[in-house]
Amino acid sequence: MHAEETQLANFIVDSGLLSRSDIDAVLMKATKGHVPLGPLLVKTGKITDDEVRKAQAHVLGIPFVDLKGKKLDMAVLSLIPEPIARNHNIVAFKKENDTLEVAMLDTEDLSAIDFIKKKTGLRILPRLTDNESIKAALVQYQKSLKAEFGDIIQKEVGSIKTLAEQMGGDANNEADLKKLAEDLPVVRVVDTLLKHAIIQDASDIHIESMEEEVLVRYRIDGILHDAMVLPKNAGPSITARIKVLSNLKLDEKRLPQDGRFKVEMNGEKVSFRVSLLPTYYGEKTVMRLLRENVKGFTLEVLGFHGRNLELIHEATRLTTGMILTTGPTGSGKTTTLYTVLDILNTPDVNISTIEDPIEYQMSRINQTQVKPEIGFTFGSGLRSLVRQDPDIIMVGEIRDNETASLAVNAALTGHLVLSTLHTNSSAGAIPRLVDMKVEPFLIVSTVSIVIGQRLIRRLTAQKEEYFLSDAEVKQLERVVDLDRMLHILKEEKIIGKDTDWKKIPFYKAKPSSESEDGFKGRVGIHEVLKMTPTIRDLVMRESNSADIEAQAKKEGMITMVEDGIFKAVSGLTTIEEVLRVVSE
């Protein structure tokens, strides 16, 4: 259903959106490059994506629908699963007899139309819409799920409480606990809790026993949010159900336990890594959500750019040495390593990993899970891996002296080794390796680059622009060298050559229908330390991390806080969010 390009151009001129000279220049470029006119028009900045889409709808003779502010029938909306709706920007909004009207951003997405036709058995009538309409419809999925979630909890928790009271409060023997875990209300509550966490894009679920209640919280975009409060009696039942799913001991309440289970929802496989810890008021459960079929990450999507991006690509062309990522738990280190592995994953190399846990499953890569309880550790696993004729080895984490020594030796004997370290900065990785009894001459012989990183929350499109006051410029000066930062921004062509701090727009979070706090999703801030000759000299002299970082900055390294300010100027986040994350 291609809109005739000249018709589209004529309609845009007739509508007064662009002048004839402007449209002819873009039309000539589209014809020469054999590219669609629409995206090129949007690139001019003089016309929006939605305006182009409305013009295309008119030319194609397809009705344009505006769904903003409209309450959609949940029975119709749910005919298209939420992940499909979100990934393909398509929502069902009207059903009559055997026909279903769907609003889309791209009516040429025939695979999505065909999928919905097969799933529903209905005749599909595509309609064009705009970005805001799609966003408004997707929010209604969330609202309906919250309502469904609340209704199930209210309905079922009373039954759980009654069953627990019948068993004399806190059941202790395995038979009673198993009965609790398999009770239908308990199954429904736990299933709903897991389903809601997946829909909310939570990374963790916390179930905490308090003195008089059980608190359930989700970590979303790195921040914990209260999800619900349950009666105290419901706690043991829910914990027992999670233990059954994870194949853990039901009657063990004095020792920590770790387990894992998988669920599949709307074609998406999610693995839950479970940790149980005894506390004063009962067992606390934390579940980490790991989406196993996550694909499509690139270094650019993760937030790498400019010099940092070049250094990583340069390191991936090496056949020996070490690529290290550093940062606290939950800073995205493993995701960065998986993305680098994806770049390295070509038919002519053998890649093996030793991990705890295996977070994402990757084709053509031999992934191994450590099992310390039977003596299969990172150290023993790495010893075996090097006998498997690998070209590239990924060690999930260097935790101890033995693993550090083996990883360095593997890098010395013709392997490219990727791994993670728990340090606060890239420069901090060097003293950490020395602390693990790795000789400085071995570090300079093996380490190629060290990536330091954190994750910051992304602003939604509904952000609020502002400019720094004199006081705010002075506050910023305490965090970064303002002249150096201006130079970085000009080098990356983010600002003009004559721009100063008072003329640079920054952004604040603005609550909207898309997000209650104005943030949605996360992106990385990074620093990449290259092992240059001068850095090697400092390492050999066993210099501290501050001296190493200072030298790296002189040689062009952008620090994490500087990368954060870069992303704040780019409109991806706020200055406050950068400072919150970097100062943690």
Q: Residue 118 above 90 pLDDT?
A: no
- The secondary structure of residue 478, as a DSSP letter, is T
Q: What is the DSSP string of 308-348?
A: HHHHHHHHHT-SSEEEEEE-STTSSHHHHHHHHHHHH--TT
Rounded to 10°, the helix 333-344/306-316 angle is 50
Give the tens place of pLDDT for each residue, 428-460.
Answer: 999 999 999 999 999 999 999 999 999 999 998
Query: Which residue pairs, CB below 8 angstroms and at least 24 apart, start in 227-235?
Result: 227/193, 227/196, 228/149, 228/150, 228/153, 230/153, 230/157, 231/157, 231/160, 231/161, 233/160, 233/161, 233/164, 233/165, 233/169, 234/157, 234/160, 234/161, 234/164, 234/189, 235/207, 235/209, 235/282, 235/283
Token readout for 563 is: 């990368």
Residue appearing with tokens 């002075």: 474
Which pLDDT score is estimated for 161? 56
Q: What is the DSSP letter of 459?
A: E
State the DSSP code for 486.
H
What are the φ/ψ torsions at residue 177 (nearest 5 degrees)?
A: -65, -40
Q: CA-CA distance, 160 to 231, in Å (whole number)?
A: 9
Supply the pLDDT for residue 88: 84
Instruction: Tabulate helix, strand, coil % of the chain (nearest 5).
Output: 45, 25, 30
Quote the DSSP letter at residue 45.
S
Query: What are 170-218's pLDDT values in tens digits?
Result: 556 667 667 767 777 788 888 888 988 887 788 999 999 999 888 999 9
Q: Which helix (H) or strand (E) holds 92?
A: strand 90-96
Give, in degrees to the nearest 5, the angle at Cα 252 between 250 and 253.
Answer: 110
Q: How many CA atoms lie within 13 A of 307 on its CB side?
A: 20
Q: What pLDDT is recorded for position 578?
A: 95
3-state secondary structure 165-233: HHCCCCCCCHHHHHHHHCCHHHHHHHHHHHHHHHHCCCCEEEEEECCCEEEEEEEECCEEEEEEEEECC
Worst-scoring range by mean pLDDT, 6-10, 62-66, 315-319, 535-539? 6-10
Query: What is the arithmetic mean of pLDDT over 471-482?
Result: 91
Dihedral pair phi/psi, residue 434, rounded to 5°: -65, -40
Tracing tokens 């308090």 back to the chain, one arrives at 210
Confidence of residue 162 (pLDDT cuts 50, 70, 90): low
Tell whether the model's pLDDT for residue 1 goes beyond 50. Answer: no
Nearest 5 degrees, angle CA 566-CA 572-CA 575?
Answer: 60
Contacts (Cβ under 8 Å, ≥6 apart) of 341: 351, 353, 362, 365, 392, 394, 418
The encoded tokens of residue 253 equal 């309440």
Looking at the chain, the whole-number percentage of residues with pLDDT higher than 90 is 45
Residue 566 has pLDDT above 60, yes or no: yes
Q: What is the mean pLDDT of the chain?
A: 85
